[in-house]
Amino acid sequence: MASTEELQTLVLTTLDRENVIVDSKDLKTVSGGDLDQLAVLGVLNSLKSKEMVDYSSIGREVWTLSKEGEQVAEQGSHEARVFEAIPAGAEGIPMSEVQAILGKAANIGQGKAIKNGWIRKEGDNLVRAKDSIVDQTKSDLQEIKKTATHSNAKTLTDLKKRKLVEKQKVTTYKVTKGPQFSLEIKKEATDITAEMLQSGEWKNATFKKYNFDAAGVAPSGGHLHPLMKVRQEFREIFFEMGFEEMPTNCFAESSFWNFDALFQPQQHPARDAHDTFFLKDPASTDRFPRDLMEKIKVTHENGGDTGSTGYNYVWKEEDAGKLLLRTHTTAVSSNMLYKLAEKTKKEGVFRPAKYFSIDRVFRNESVDATHLAEFHQIEGVIADKNLTLGDLIGFMDVFFKKMGMEKIRFKPTYNPYTEPSMEIFSYHDGLKKWVEIGNSGMFRPEMLLPLGLPPDVRVIAWGLGLERPTMIKYNISNIRDLLGHKVKIDMIKEYPICRLDKKMGKELVGVSEQ
């Protein structure tokens, strides 16, 4: 086999000497062997791209001998060999002897030799019927072997039927000089570089031609941000457990849904501008249900029909109307529970519901390596009759086990909208300590009854952050490398898809909470 350089030189020197290569099949290796025409094509394409040569294909049928054909071309046809095996004269020899000499060929050749009138049977003996014969098959095959074809097309089809020859399609090439023909191959530049411009080298450089037929670089787009990849994994867990996703596409929310509907008093410190981003323009809305607003007002003021004493202050619509960037996704949950109550009233029957959401929330915090003014919350809500704290604990156990967190513990805490409320802790094997992973509770009657849910309906809910599991999964130590204006776009392309597995779950509880 000739190397690419050898082939290139062969093509160029032949063209230089003869001006044209009529058929590349006539090009031979140094030792006189045939060339691999595919390798020739490669070299021709490369030279053509530099306009050094031009070529056209020559399609041709090539006949070759089968293994049996080779044998016949060398030793003669079976019938001729039978003829040769029988001595001249009237005596002949017994059939068994011919068989002993020729083996299997005797059986095939005998009938044909008789049909040709070359021999005949006499008793048990075979006798020559002619003095001499011409073995046409042998000479036909020898001709085909030499020329790869035969002057008589019928001979070719006959021999093919006898499986002595095979037909192949072969492509070779006619090659002519191109406009840039030369014996030397110039190195071509593929790009103009800053150095070429500075040195002026670009003026004399030969540039590689664009190959518009080449396969392009695959366009890349639509990469998911790591947070969205991890979100997808949590989503799968929720869907697996029969949850429905809440619509969380509206970041701006009224204080009404974010706080008031959650029985969070209007003088609560979280409602201060130090903690919450309020909108300037528009600064307020009155778009919340009037009758619900009345119920919430009295519940805050004196407990209304809920059996509670309320907070004993004067509730103002003005405060509820203040627009803000939602501080938690529970703003959406309260809205969804109101819709569930409305649906229950309309249909006359309560149907249990399981909702979840994973989306962005905003808090007016000072930004550091682990805190941003915006982050993502994962929230789950289950509404059913007669749910108990035991249900919440049991469900948390199942939910976090799905993320590989086996040991879960709870600690009482306070939320204005849940009672009882529990912080969720998971044991971290590596750190050998309990780490906080989320917050949960049972929504208070002061929240559920004004929404209009039947009195025996209980709602359990929990929330956790999305950033922490993502940072652990992708080994990111500074939150500003994950979210915000300093994020490297390449990072988004490069991070692999996320799979929450057991190991991940164990790591997940290893970083301190938001």
Instruction: Choose among 224, 443, 183: nearest CA to 338.
Output: 443
Binds ligand PHE (CB under 6 A): choice among 462, 476, 509, 511: 462
Smallest separation (angstroms) from ligand PHE to the CB of 332: 11
Work out whether the CA dihedral 12, 17, 20, 24 comes out positive or negative: negative
CB 412 within 8 A of CB 422: yes
248 touches ligand PHE by CB under 6 A: no
Nearer to ligand PHE, 83 or 462 (CB): 462
418 touches ligand PHE by CB under 6 A: yes
**Which stretch, 145-153, 160-168, 457-465, 481-489, contacts ligand PHE (CB under 6 A)?**
457-465
Report how far apart, in Å, the C-alpha atoms of 83 and of each of 101, 118, 159 are: 12, 7, 20
The residue count for binding ligand PHE (CB under 6 A) is: 11
440 touches ligand PHE by CB under 6 A: yes
470 touches ligand PHE by CB under 6 A: no
Helix H segments across 187-245?
194-199, 226-240
415 touches ligand PHE by CB under 6 A: yes
Q: What phi and psi, each to the nearest 5 degrees, are found at residue 449?
A: -65, -45
Nearer to ligand PHE, 24 or 421 (CB): 421
Smallest separation (angstroms) from ligand PHE to the CB of 330: 4
**Which stretch, 52-60, 125-133, 230-238, 460-468, contacts ligand PHE (CB under 6 A)?**
460-468
Which residues are CB-neighbours of 359 under 8 A, at least 6 positions away?
248, 249, 329, 332, 376, 377
445 touches ligand PHE by CB under 6 A: no
**Residues numbered 318-377 forming contacts with ligand PHE, rule: CB under 6 A:** 328, 330
**Which stretch, 205-213, 303-311, 387-395, 458-466, contacts ligand PHE (CB under 6 A)?**
458-466
110 touches ligand PHE by CB under 6 A: no
255 touches ligand PHE by CB under 6 A: no
Helix H segments across 362-466?
389-401, 445-451
379 touches ligand PHE by CB under 6 A: yes
CA distance 415 to 180: 82
**Which stretch, 121-129, 142-150, 368-376, 435-443, contacts ligand PHE (CB under 6 A)?**
435-443
- Give me the residue label for tokens 């009672």: 419
CB 340 within 8 A of CB 443: no
CA distance 117 to 101: 21
Report how far apart, in Å, the C-alpha atoms of 99 and of each of 22, 87, 113 are: 51, 14, 14
461 touches ligand PHE by CB under 6 A: yes
Nearer to ligand PHE, 73 or 442 (CB): 442
- The site for ligand PHE (CB under 6 A) is made up of 328, 330, 379, 415, 418, 439-441, 461-463
